[in-house]
Structures are given as C-alpha cells and as structure tokens.
Amino acid sequence: MKDDKKKVNQKETLLKVLAYIRPYKFLMALTIIMAAVSVALTLYLPILAGDAVDLLIYIFDPSSLNVASPWPALFFILKKMAVVILLTAVTQWIMNICNNKIVYSIIQDIRKKAFRRLEELPLKYLDAHSHGDIVSRVVADVDQFADGLLIGFTQLFTGVITILGTLLFMISVNVGITVVVVVITPVSLFVASFIAKKTFSMFKLQSETRGEQTALINEMIGNQKVVQAFNREDETLERFDEINGRLEKCSLRAIFFSSLTNPCTRFVNSLVYTGVGLTGAFAVLRGGLSVGQLTCFLSYANQYTKPFNEISGVITELQNALACAARIFELIEEEPQEPDAEDAMVLENAEGEVNLDHVSFSYVPDKKLIEDLNLSVKPGQRIAIVGPTGCGKTTIINLLMRFYDVDQGSISVDGANIQDITRKSLRTSYGMVLQETWLKRGTIRDNITVGKPDATEEEIIAAAKASHAHSFIRRLPNGYDTVIGEDGRSLSGGQKQLLCITRVMLSLPPMLILDEATSSIDTRTEIKIQKAFATMMEGRTSFIVAHRLSTIQNADVILVMKDGHIIEQGNHEQLLAKGGFYAQLYNSQFAIA
C-alpha cells in the first residue's frame, strides 16, 4: 500500500513537471531533432572508421581488396569523418543551448509561482511552518530539481535515440551478433528499475532533512545574540549534530543506492562487449565479417551500452529531482488565503468606527482564546488594550487587520463587515507600529516611504522631525541616503523603532495601531514621542497595546483583558477607582519598595 502511494505521488509529480514543460514544446522538438541528428552522425562515424580500417589493411595485404590505390579513398573517408565530427559538435551545442533554455525557463516559472504563492498564503501557514524549511524549498530544492532536469534532458533523449539507432545499425550489419546484444540488455534494465524504486523515497527524506537543517541554521543566525546570552551554544551544537547526523545517514543511503548504478551497468556493458567480441571473432574467421566491420560492431557495442549506463545515472538524478519537485509543488499547491469577494468594497476615507460583535477566535481549534468578544469604538477614540501576556491583545490586532479571520461573529469598520472590504484598502486605512521592527535593505529614505512612495523630501523630513528621528538620521554618513543592512542591523533598537514610527507619521492613515510602539526607546525620547503620538492620534481611531500603563493614561477607553475576555472597561481614573484587576496591574508597576 505504501509503495503504491509512492508510485502515485511520483507519477503525479512527473505529470506536473510535464505541464511546466508544455509551453516550451517547440524547444523540446528542436532538442529531440538535434539529438536524433547527433546520434545518427555519431553512429555513422564507426562505419567510416570500419571502412578506413579495411583500406589500411590493403597496405599490408593488397589482395584483400580489389582497389587500385587505397590512399585517395582513405583521404576522402578521413575528410568525411572530419565533417561528421564537426556537425556532431554543432548539433550537440545547439541541443545544449535548447536544454539550458528549457530548464532555466521552467525553474524561473516555478520560482515565480512559489514566491507568488508565498505572498498569497495566509499567515497561519507561515506561523505553522519553519521559515528555514520554506526557504530550503524555494532555493535548495529548486536548484536540485534544475540539476536533475538538466542532466535528464541532456542525456535521456540522446541515450534513448542512441540505443534505438545503434540496434538498427547493428541489425543492418549482422543480425546474429545483434541478437546476442539484445538478450543481455534486460539485465541492465532490471538494475536501473531496482535502483529507481529505492532512490525516490531516500532522496525525498534527504530533502526534508536538509530543509530541517536549513531551518535550524536560519533560526540560529537570526537569534545568535540570544543563544550566546543564555549560553545555549552547546545545546544548539548538539541539536545541529543530531540533524546533521540524520542528514548524513539518509544522504549516504541515497548516494549508496545511486552509486550502484555505475558499477552494475558497467558490468552489464562488459558482458555485452565480451559477447560481441567473441561472436564477432568467430564471424570474421568464418568470413561472415571483415575486420573493419568487426571494429565497427565493437564500437557500436560501446555506443549501445553507454546510454544504459547514462540513463541509469539519469534515472537516479531524476529521482532526486522529482523528490525535490514534490516538495516545491506542495508549497505551490497550498491553499491560498481566501480571495476578496468580486463585489468587495474599497474602503476610502474611513471615519474609524469599529465594532466587534460576538467575536470568537482561536489559533488551535481545541484551545480557546477569544470568546464572545464585543467592542464598540467611536471615530477618533483612543482604545488602550492591557492585560497579562497571552490574554489576546495582539490577537485582536491580527483580527482587525484581517491577518486572521474570525471563527464566529463579525468585525465591521464604518458599518461594513471587514470580510466585505478588500484587504488592501482595509490595511491601507491602518497605520501600524509594532514592538518587532521591520526594515529592508536599502536607504533610510526607502524604509520611511514604504507606505507613501511618492512622498516629497519636505514631507519625509517633517515626518522624521515629528517622530524625533531627524536628528540621528542627520548624523548618519549620508543622511537620508545612508544604506542600511537587512533588518537595519547597523542601527540600534531604538533607532529602528523611530524609523518605523516615522513611516506611520508620513502616511497618516485614518486609524492607528500601536503595539508596544515605544518599547525600545529611552524614557526621555518616549515622552517626546508620546506628545507626537497625541498630535498624530487627534481625530483618528487608535488602538494602543501596552504593558507600561504610564503610556495609556490619557486613553479614552481602556480595555482590560484576561483569558480572551474583556473583564474591565473604562478610563484610567474609573478603573483605578474600581480597585479591580487594572488597579492591581497599575499598583504592581508603581509600587514603592
């Protein structure tokens, strides 16, 4: 049953690969034609060589041929051989160009489709899968697939045509010796079939383990400071060694079976060559063959058996390629996020009225998080959300932005259900500053203008001044044209946060989400930014997630959450007067030791 499933999966993967090849059928036809011409010329060469041998024999035994002088005929044959060799080289060159064009065009198509699917996948897929494994699929697996496909195209066509062509040529010379060759052939086919069955699952396991290793490396590089700070180097090395050990074992097994191909097929090749040599020698002694024809036949024996050796190797490479392709197609065929409805409205000039009506949501079905949450926010209100870690604060933000869809209930903006609004217009209506900063490789200006690419220099500088980022930007080597590395690694945590705040200051959308937006900023700068935020939030609906309660005392409404429920609601003074959970949180932060 398991083997049948593997065969089906392998067949399905092969059909998908053929679907990607279909657009390049003209190049495929040209490749096959060039392969046929190349093989025909290659097979014609031994005939010319055999004739040349017979002519050379005349020099030592003039009675063996009825020719006045062998030299003109010999020179003519040598000229023909030179032309044949040159034409063979040209056809093989054209075939290789076609093969490379087909393979790398297919790889380009697959990578485009994979990356586009990554853009379309819901966040829950990215949250549930290792980022390193996803990277491994798009980069390493596609490269492995390309290598296998290139070898397949280069050798498979020529190999098959060579086998068929050689048989026809050998039959035309001597049927008896050809029968000897054909009888021994099934041994090579059996070897190739046996190896092919074994290698697919092994190469697939190798790809999966390589993805696991890439995921660990990716994770460690991104968090090396944490690893070193907590002295986790030894544990990390042990984990890496364990995965590396498994990769070594499965790679050795895969390579072991694939390496059997060469010696096994060479053994069969030797049997064929021996059979041709013995039967051909007896045929020469009986006068059924000339020495030149025997030379030609021995050359054909090599030509005939060589493709079996190559095809067996190609089959092994194709197994690896198909195993990698299966993992790529798994990614490409993942269900994308539900597209916007055809009649979805575009949210423009949002006023900022937000309502959550009996909302329930959980990341894992059997682990409840938010249940029956109700919230009504008027335009321009500042809503602060506080509570212990894991109570659902950031989850509300994910739901407001439609990074996740609610399980039950509904969320509406300006009276329209957000599921009836295009995601792009909904998210454009929000400005987000998160605790975790994100900066791309590029200039400071490029990172500030992410939400407003057409911003003028004056607007950029005004936004930077409002966020108190202008002073540190001005001190950089090239000011706003300073190039920063991936994720702004050349900047401090606070500077990165200031750039993210500047980004929102520049676009100034009608609604704001501030999730621990000042967590990496010193107290003095934070006071200045809070004033800037106060100006920015004027007339805009704002959701503020905070642990430091001193930053949300001026909020219109404070929602106190616990275990996915709003347990208290009111402004700062009202909640303190109640003496409830909020008062406990506040007093714990400002208690005098």
Give the CA distances from residue 591 to residues 515, 579, 583, in Å, rounded to whole numbers and listed in that order: 25, 15, 11
Residue-level pLDDT at 119: 83
Indicate the residue type of 276: V
pLDDT(2) > 50: no
Q: How far is 256 from 249, CA to CA, in rounded Å?
A: 10
Q: Is it the case that residue 413 has pLDDT exceeding 80?
A: yes
pTM above 0.85, yes or no: no
- Whether 395 has a pLDDT exceeding 90, the answer reads no
322-338 tens-digit pLDDT:
888 888 888 888 888 88
With 0-12 CB in 10 A as exposed, 13-18 as middle and 19+ as buried, what is 514? Answer: buried
Q: Give the chain's mean pLDDT.
A: 80
Give the DSSP per-residue string, 462-473.
Answer: HHHHHTT-HHHH
Whether residue 553 is predicted with pLDDT greater than 70 in this model: the reply is yes
pLDDT, average across residues 422-443: 84
Q: What is the CATH number of domain 13-22+96-332?
A: 1.20.1560.10
pLDDT confidence bin for 95, thresholds 50/70/90:
confident
SS3 category, 539: coil
> What pLDDT digit, counting tens, does each position of 46-76 carry?
777 777 776 776 655 555 555 556 677 778 8
pLDDT at 86: 93
User: What's the pLDDT tens digit per position in 192-250?
Assistant: 666 666 676 777 788 788 878 887 887 777 677 677 766 777 888 888 889 888 888 88
Q: Which residue has the tokens 């090749």?
A: 269
| Of the candidate ranges 68-72, 292-296, 532-536, 550-554, the one whose mean pLDDT is the lowest | 68-72
Enter the tokens of residue 22. 């279909």
Instruction: Spell out the domain ranges in the chain.
Output: 13-22+96-332
pLDDT number for residue 87: 92
